[in-house]
């Protein structure tokens, strides 16, 4: 092995470790300061307490924001997954003119600045006469969740054995019946993974909710509003910790389900692989 390759082999793991540390160290401080007795997030800690967590259920505005986020998250996840199933099936099963262009347009929200997408969607919705509400937030979240949903579902459809559907058709089953009784059961892990990923993205999204929510506040917008008050900072840290844990759990479960789908269909790739 040449000297440059040996140096690269030695320094690359260290660089990766430093990069991960730089990326996640501020996030890891969040749960530490959320149990600090002092309202000021600094070291050394003055003591440990859970009172900031105990006060969260007693805040009506927080509960309303959590309920709004739940409604938007579930709705966006279901709609994005349904659209993702249709798109992923079309992309993997058929070849048609303009397919690559269509794929690029569908995936465009992944690379476009979200604030530009949010402002553009705001102009379109207001021009169409729609008032800002949870409905408009849901539409915005569906727009940004569909590409992630398609990415998850394509890995399931690409390795799907079409002979199973052909066997079902040979036995006299209709196309709709084959899709319901053969395709969907095989795709269930990928579908659940898509639902969880989409829900997590919707739960954490701030920009769409800020521009399209009007007077309906979701959790990220509520957190942003509380940051203006120094006395509210400990509660914000506690809430942020809960959101962080929920996001990590949902993404972990989603990746487990995706890998189960990949094992069924003998495909690879995914969100955390």
Q: How far apart are CA 19 and CA 260, in angstroms?
A: 30
Q: In this structure, are residues 137 and 216 in contact, taking their beta carbons and an 8 Å threshold?
A: yes
Q: Kindly report the three-state secondary structure assignment for every residue of 150-165.
A: HHHHHHHHHCCCHHHH
Phi/psi for 48 (5° steps) reads -115, 140
Q: How far apart are CA 205 and CA 209, in angstroms?
A: 7
Q: In this structure, are residues 204 and 27 in contact, taking their beta carbons and an 8 Å threshold?
A: no
Cis check for the bond before 118: say yes or no (omega within 30 of 0).
Answer: no
Q: In this structure, are residues 220 and 244 in contact, taking their beta carbons and an 8 Å threshold?
A: no
Res 12: pLDDT: 74
C-alpha angle 202/54/28, rounded to 5°? 55
Res 79: pLDDT: 94
Q: How far apart are CA 207 and CA 99, in angstroms?
A: 30
Q: In this structure, are residues 201 and 251 in contact, taking their beta carbons and an 8 Å threshold?
A: no
Identify which of 86, 77, 105, 78 has the alpha carbon closest to the alpha carbon of residue 150.
Answer: 86
Res 273: pLDDT: 44
DSSP tag of 130 = P
The tokens of 65 are what?
Answer: 């924001």
Distance of CA 136 to the CA centre of its chain: 18
Identify which of 192, 87, 84, 191 has the alpha carbon closest to the alpha carbon of residue 145.
Answer: 84
Res 271: pLDDT: 43
Distance of CA 273 to the CA centre of its chain: 16
Q: How far apart are CA 75 and CA 68, in angstroms?
A: 11
- pLDDT digits (tens), the chain, 273 positions: 565 666 556 677 777 788 888 877 777 887 888 787 777 777 777 777 787 788 778 888 888 888 998 899 999 999 999 998 888 887 877 777 777 777 777 777 788 888 888 998 999 988 888 888 899 999 999 999 999 888 888 877 776 666 666 677 667 767 677 777 777 777 777 888 888 889 889 988 899 999 988 888 888 888 888 877 777 777 878 887 888 888 788 778 877 776 776 666 554 444 444
Res 269: pLDDT: 42
Q: How far apart are CA 31 and CA 243, in angstroms?
A: 11
Q: How far apart are CA 155 and CA 62, in angstroms?
A: 38
Q: How far apart are CA 272 and CA 259, in angstroms?
A: 10
H/E stretch holding 216 reads none
Res 233: pLDDT: 77
CATH class label, 59-265: mainly alpha
């Amino acid at each position: 092995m040449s000297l440059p390759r040996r140096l690269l082999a030695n320094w690359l793991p260290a660089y990766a470790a430093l990069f991960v540390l730089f990326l996640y160290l501020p996030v890891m401080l969040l749960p530490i300061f959320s149990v600090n007795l002092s309202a000021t997030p600094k070291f050394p800690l003055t003591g440990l307490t859970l009172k900031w967590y105990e006060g969260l259920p007693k805040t009506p505005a927080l509960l309303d924001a959590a309920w709004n986020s739940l409604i938007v998250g579930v709705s966006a996840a279901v709609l994005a997954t349904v659209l993702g199933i249709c798109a992923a099936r079309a992309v993997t099963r058929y070849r048609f003119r303009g397919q690559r262009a269509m794929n690029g347009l569908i995936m465009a929200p992944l690379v476009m600045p979200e604030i530009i997408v949010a402002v553009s969607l705001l102009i379109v919705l207001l021009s169409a006469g729609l008032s800002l509400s949870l409905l408009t937030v849901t539409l915005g979240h569906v727009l940004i969740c569909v590409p992630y949903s398609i990415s998850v579902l394509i890995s399931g459809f690409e390795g799907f054995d079409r002979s199973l559907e052909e066997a079902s058709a040979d036995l006299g089953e209709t196309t709709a019946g084959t899709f319901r009784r053969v395709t969907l059961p095989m795709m269930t892990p990928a579908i659940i993974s898509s639902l969880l990923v989409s829900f997590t993205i919707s739960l954490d999204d701030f920009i769409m909710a800020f521009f399209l929510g009007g007077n309906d506040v979701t959790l990220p917008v509520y957190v942003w509003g509380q940051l203006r008050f120094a006395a509210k900072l400990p509660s914000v840290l506690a809430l942020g910790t809960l959101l962080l844990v929920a996001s990590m759990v949902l993404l972990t479960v989603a990746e487990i389900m995706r890998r189960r789908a990949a094992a069924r269909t003998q495909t690879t790739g995914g969100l955390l692989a």
